Copies of this chain bind each other. A is one copy, B any other.
């Protein structure tokens, strides 16, 4: 059987309390000699406290929950984006002696259930945005940091009141500016915009990039038009209009790859005629033909940062800000060409 605090206490000939005190580093309550003795015995048996017992008495559980909000269960964690984030979280967690429980949620009931089952230090939540936010957010009774959750001004103001909520995002607006400026810098002035089909009127990652696109074009006195916006269902329309554009902003590398394929199948000339800039820098981006110019988003760092922020919140430490924005980084490859 695994060794318990009781056995340690017996062997050291001290009380449970004393052992507990050294385990929890309350050194000021124990004499130096006993600390040394007890620590040596702990070392000897390679003792680690039972988290279930600990959790039961409502102290630290060392457990954090990574929650992925999605309606389609088969999507969830296979998304490389979340995989990267998990990877980052996991690395930090292991270093810091934390454990991470992953779970899919698609309702507030899911959150309630999981909270009743286990005691968490806090949560990292991915995939929540728009109207779901308020409903989901209210049921958490522990700190939470949201990743890639963009909020409307009103909602944001509301959350400001809650000291144990934080947000880590890419600065998607800035990333968008980066992409468009690069295009303009290279001489492009007729620039289309391609994204997945989504609700353009709710704050979201895509909406930020869209705003950046519009603003940057306007700033340079370039023409902006609603019909220059395409969704992934409109490749045909895009192809028809292609002669109008010398460049296109695509909201994700995978979508860019789909566009490449589509274009290659129709008209040989297009792919070398059209410049494309995208977002993500997935591992495949550099292997594409042409190698994709894209804004690197560092999802893994988001995971790392989110974990760090969560631990700070959970321990009531001061945090610098509740909105952490990561810089995107333009990776210039071959898919954007210089215009004379």
- Asked if A245 is an interface residue, CB under 8 A from chain B, the answer is no
CB-contact partner of A83 in B47, B83, B118, under 8 A? B83
A82, A112, A258, A284, most chain B CB atoms within 10 A = A284
Interface residues of A in 183-239 (CB under 8 A from B): none
Complex-state Cα separation, A116 to B143, whole angstroms: 26
CB of A240 closer than 8 Å to a CB of B: no
Contact with B along A151-175 (1 / 0, CB 8 A): 0000000000000000000000000
Chain B residue with Cβ nearest A259: B287
Q: Are A117 and B103 in contact (CB under 8 A)?
A: no
Residue A340 at the chain B interface, CB threshold 8 Å: no
Within 8 A of B (CB), among A29-87: 46-53, 55-56, 61-62, 73-80, 82-84, 86-87
Interface flag for A96 (CB, 8 Å): no
**In the complex with contacts A83-B82, A87-B76, A103-B114 CB distance below 8 A:** no
Q: How far is the CB of A138 from chain B (nearest CB, A)?
A: 16
**CB under 8 Å from chain B, chain A span 77-119:** 77-80, 82-84, 86-87, 90-91, 94, 99-104, 109, 112-114, 116-119
Quick check: B289 and A261 within 8 Å, CB to CB? yes
Q: Is the CB of A264 within 8 A of B284?
A: no
* A321 close to B (CB within 8 Å): no
Asked if A90 and B116 make an inter-chain contact with CB atoms under 8 angstroms apart, the answer reads no
Q: Are A52 and B119 in contact (CB under 8 A)?
A: yes
Residue in B50, B73, B260 whose beta carbon sits within 8 Å of that of A287 in the complex:
B260
Distance A286 CA – B257 CA, assembled complex (angstroms) = 10
Q: Judging by beta carbons under 8 Å apart, are A102 and B117 in contact?
A: no
A78 is contacted by which of B83, B118, B119 (Cβ under 8 Å)? B83
Cβ distance A257 to chain B, nearest Cβ, rounded Å:
4
**A interface SS class:** helix
Task: Say whether, besides A52-B119, A118-B52, A91 and B79 are in contact (CB < 8 Å).
Answer: no
CB distance A99 to B87 under 8 Å? no
- Cβ-based interface call for A133 (8 A): no
Query: Is B83 within 8 A of A117, CB to CB?
Result: no
Confirm or deny: A322 has a beta carbon within 8 angstroms of a beta carbon on chain B.
no
Are A50 and B91 in contact (CB-based, < 8 A)? Answer: no
A307 to B62, CA, bound (A): 25
**Measured CA separation A112–B3 after assembly (Å):** 12
Q: Contacts of A78 on B, CB cut-off 8 Å?
A: 80, 83-84, 86-87, 300
**Given A46-B113, A74-B300: 18 more A-B contacts, CB < 8 Å:** A2-B116, A46-B109, A48-B117, A50-B56, A51-B52, A52-B52, A52-B119, A53-B56, A75-B87, A77-B87, A80-B83, A90-B102, A90-B104, A99-B101, A99-B114, A257-B287, A261-B286, A261-B291
